[in-house]
Amino acid sequence: MEQTIYILKDYGKIEIHLKHILDAKKISRGKLSSMTAMSYDLVNRYYNGKVTRVDLDVISRFCYALDCNVDDILFYKKD
């Protein structure tokens, strides 16, 4: 039986910059929650960067409500 060796590679990571946008536009998490018809808890998880899987519908709602682009919210950081 052939052995396979897997090498872990650092591909970087995606950062969520919702906090920066809300602070710049002076919009609270509660207000964004109302604007997007999403729970405060969900908005708060994105705000604090505590999501493990990004929902494209959520990002679309943020972009619409905040009048911004996806690349304003999501940022790829190479290590």
DSSP class per residue in 1-43:
------------EEEE-HHHHHHHHT--HHHHHHHHT--HHHH
4-63, pLDDT tens digit by residue? 777 878 889 999 999 999 999 999 999 999 999 999 999 999 999 999 899 999 999 999
pTM of the model: 0.84
Structure tokens at 36: 């997007």
**Taking 70 as the threshold, does the pLDDT of residue 1 lie above it?**
no
Mind listing the domains of the chain with CATH numbers?
13-77 (1.10.260.40)
> Which one-letter DSSP state was computed for residue 62?
H
